[in-house]
Structure 1
């Protein structure tokens, strides 16, 4: 039961973290001045993401302590929690993550929506995303390769948050959009192409580095022989499907919307197609985060 709770809490933290970083960066990157569409949804959404990360991190600290101590009763003892926080990188990272998310929540309450708030939230979101390297396999590698693996893991987590968080923001925009916002949304979709391409390149490169340390080239042929390898295959399949949808959005659906806007034709059909595609891509992203949450609790093949 505790193992299930740990996985569920990891999924919640990942989901909140990608929104906390990717969404404000997307808003900062995409909209300037009076041409921005209605963004009233953004601050409540980011507040919820910050609350999920903060509470999820603290709950995960207790759950992880219970796994290590052997029972929930032992986990809530001050001595057990104190050791977890001060004696392990895992516990320290969870506390830092929760504190950073709470700072983000304060900013989201105190500041008005705009570039200053998006900048602060993005900076705090970077810290939250990077902290996952110390609660997964990224900080476990010893020897001269350890720093390389840790940096690759940090970049991998940040790149995933950039893509998935921006995807969440795009989905929210298309679900709430009004007719006069179509042009602004098209510009945002077009502008996201560069950020999305960068995120994908970073994910592929750092994914290869992580696989080198966690699996090793000599074990690639037998990757499906254990649960970790099977989940990695599932993760790659989900990533491939998301990449195919992203390519369709960029090279087919977004240009179709642009053509409709340029010629003055109705854009309802083009928007509907984009909305459906983004909803499916978002669903695949949530499933991918679930797979990653499980993988983080399993020993990688290189450690067996």
Structure 2
């Protein structure tokens, strides 16, 4: 039961970090010098993400301590928590993650919505995302390849947040959409296409580097023999499905919306198709994060 709690709390932290990093980055590059739609949702969304990361990190600290100590009652003792924080990199990272999230929360409450706030929250999200790599499999890689694996894992997390966080922001935009905002939303969708492609390329390249270290070329054929390998296969299937939706959005649905706006035709049908597609793609992204959360608790094939 404690192991399940650890995985669930990792998923919550991943989800919060994705929003904290990806959503403000999306806002920074999507509406530069142009008319933006109503972004009243951005502040409460970032507040929610910061709270999820902060509380999720502290709860994960207790859950992970309980796993190591053998019981929840033992984990709640100050001596056990103190050892976890001061004696392990994982415990220290969880506390650092919570502190950064609280600082982001203060910034969201104190600053006006705009570029300064988006930069601050994106920076906080970057630190949170990097902390997962620091205490994950990449941080444990020894030898001359260790720094390369760590950098690749951080880049992988940032690229994932850029894609998934933007997906979340786009989904909220379309759910709250009003007709006068359609042109601005279309610009945002069109502008995301290039950076979305960059995120996918980074995910593929850094994913190959991570797999080289965690699986190894000699074990690729035996992926199905371990739980980690089966979860990796599930992750790749989910990633492929997300790519299919992303390609449909970019090459079919977004141009259809642009054509409707260009001819002054009603855009509600095109917006409805985009909304459904983005909702499904976002759901797949959340499922993918759950798979990644479970993978982070398992030994990869290369270490067996």
TM-score by length of 2: 0.98
Verify the 8 A CA contact 1:159 1:202 in the aligned structure 2.
yes
Q: Deviations over 1:206-264 (max 9, x none)?
A: 10011011111000011111111000000000000001100110111101100110111
Q: Secondary structure of 2:138's match?
A: coil
The equivalent residue for 2:291 is 291
Q: Hey, which bits of structure 1, 4+ residues long, moved more than 3 A? A: none
Instruction: Measure the CA separation in 1 of the matches of 2:199 and 2:97.
Output: 22
Verify the 8 A CA contact 1:15 1:289 in the aligned structure 2.
yes
CA RMSD of aligned residues (A): 0.9
Which 10-residue stretch deviates more, 33-42 or 99-108?
A: 33-42
Shift of 1:134: 2.5
The equivalent residue for 2:252 is 252
Shift of 1:136: 2.1
Shift of 1:112: 1.2
Instruction: Measure the CA separation in 1 of the matches of 2:125 and 2:298.
Output: 26
The equivalent residue for 1:154 is 154
- Uncovered stretches (5+) of structure 2, i.e. residues with no partner: none
Structural mapping, 1:128-147, within 5 Å: 128-147=128-147
Q: Secondary structure of 2:40's match?
A: coil
- Uncovered stretches (5+) of structure 1, i.e. residues with no partner: none
The equivalent residue for 2:19 is 19
Shift of 1:33: 5.3
The equivalent residue for 1:40 is 40
Q: Find out whether 1:268 has 2:268 as its counterpart.
A: yes
Q: Secondary structure of 1:35's match?
A: coil
Instruction: Measure the CA separation in 2 of the matches of 1:107 and 1:67.
Output: 34
The equivalent residue for 1:222 is 222
The equivalent residue for 2:281 is 281
Shift of 1:34: 6.3
Instruction: Measure the CA separation in 1 of the matches of 2:157 and 2:82.
Output: 27
Instruction: Measure the CA separation in 1 of the matches of 2:263 and 2:278.
Output: 24
Aligned length: 304
Q: Secondary structure of 1:177's match?
A: coil
Q: Find out whether 1:52 has 2:52 as its counterpart.
A: yes
Verify the 8 A CA contact 1:94 1:135 in the aligned structure 2.
no
The equivalent residue for 1:29 is 29
